[in-house]
C-alpha cells in the first residue's frame, strides 16, 4: 500500500511518475550497490557515494570509525538517493527527449547499529554483494569489527520516481520524419576473472555470476 508523502517527499514536478509504494522502494534499493548521501558540515555541502544495502525497513551503510561523513550523519538529517538508468528516450523533438529510470530519495537521520547487531548487518552486506560468499571467506575479527561503524536509516520517509516506455511527443511533432524510440541501457555482469594466484575452481556463486 502506498504511504502518504511528507513535505520533503511530495513530488510536484512530474507528479504522475512518483510512487510511495514500499515494495517499489525496496526493489530499487535492493538493485543498488551504491547510493549517494548529501549532508553538510563546517566545510560546506557534500554528496558522497557509498556502498549500501537493505535489511527490513532500513538502508544500511558502513565505514571506518574515523569517517567524517559517518560522524556527521548521526548529528543531522540527510538525503539519500539511488538512481538506475534504464534507457535514453529519443523523441521527434529535441525538448521531448528524456530518460527511462528508476530512482528513490530517502530523508531522515542515520543511527548507529549497536555492537550486538553490527556483525549480522555486515554479513548481510556481504550476502547482498554476492549471495553465498560469506560462508566461504574469513569472517571479520574483533579488531576489524571494532574499527568499523555501521549506520542505518529508516525508509519511512521516502519517495520513488519512475519513467518507462516510449517517447511522448507533442501531436504537432508526430509527423517529423526522424527515428524515435528507446536506446536501452542495463548493468551487465561480466565473466569472472580469477586472481592469478588463485588455482582453486570457482564456487557456485562465482560460476553463476553471469546468469544469476
The CATH number for 82's domain is 2.30.110.10
63 domain residue, yes or no: yes
51 domain residue, yes or no: yes
**CB neighbour class for 94 (10 Å; exposed up to 12, middle 13-18, buried from 19):** exposed
Using the predicted structure, report yes or no on whether residue 91 has a pLDDT greater than 60: yes
The mean pLDDT of 161-170, rounded to a whole number, is 97
Provide the domain limits for residue 62: 15-167+177-184+201-207
107 domain residue, yes or no: yes
- 178-197 in b/e form (b: 16+ CB < 10 A) is eebebeeeeeeeeeeeeeee
What is the Cα–Cα distance from 7 to 5, expressed in whole angstroms? 7
The mean pLDDT of 105-115, rounded to a whole number, is 97
pTM of the model: 0.94
Using the predicted structure, report yes or no on whether residue 4 has a pLDDT greater than 80: no
8 domain residue, yes or no: no
Q: C-alpha grid cell for residue 195?
A: 586472481
Q: What average pLDDT does the chain have?
A: 95
149 domain residue, yes or no: yes
Using the predicted structure, report yes or no on whether residue 192 has a pLDDT greater than 90: yes
Structural domain count, the chain: 1
- Per-residue pLDDT tens for 77-87? 999 999 999 99
2 domain residue, yes or no: no
Using the predicted structure, report yes or no on whether residue 112 has a pLDDT greater than 90: yes
Beta strand pairing status for 18-19 and 158-163?
antiparallel
146 domain residue, yes or no: yes
Amino acid at each position: 500500500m502506498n504511504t502518504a508523502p511528507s513535505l520533503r517527499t511530495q513530488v510536484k514536478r512530474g507528479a504522475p511518475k512518483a510512487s510511495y509504494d514500499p515494495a517499489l522502494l525496496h526493489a530499487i534499493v535492493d538493485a543498488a550497490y551504491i547510493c549517494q548521501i548529501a549532508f553538510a558540515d563546517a566545510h560546506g555541502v557534500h554528496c558522497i557515494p557509498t556502498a549500501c544495502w537493505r535489511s527490513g525497513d532500513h538502508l544500511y551503510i558502513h565505514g571506518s570509525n574515523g569517517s567524517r561523513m559517518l560522524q556527521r550523519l548521526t548529528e543531522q538529517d540527510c538525503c539519500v538517493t539511488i538512481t538506475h538508468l534504464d534507457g535514453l528516450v529519443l523523441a521527434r523533438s529535441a525538448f521531448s527527449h528524456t530518460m527511462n529510470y528508476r530512482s528513490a530519495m530517502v530523508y531522515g537521520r542515520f543511527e548507529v547499529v549497536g555492537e550486538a547487531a553490527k556483525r549480522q548487518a555486515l554479513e548481510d552486506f556481504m550476502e547482498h554483494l554476492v549471495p553465498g560468499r560469506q560462508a566461504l571467506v574469513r569472517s571479520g575479527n574483533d579488531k576489524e569489527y571494532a574499527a568499523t561503524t555501521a549506520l542505518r536509516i529508516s525508509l519511512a520517509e521516502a519517495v520513488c520516481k519512475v519513467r518507462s516506455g516510449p517517447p511522448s511527443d507533442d501531436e504537432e511533432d508526430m509527423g517529423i520524419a526522424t527515428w524515435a524510440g528507446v536506446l536501452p541501457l542495463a548493468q551487465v555482469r561480466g565473466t569472472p576473472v580469477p586472481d592469478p594466484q588463485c588455482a582453486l575452481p570457482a564456487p557456485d556463486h562465482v560460476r553463476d555470476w553471469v546468469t544469476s
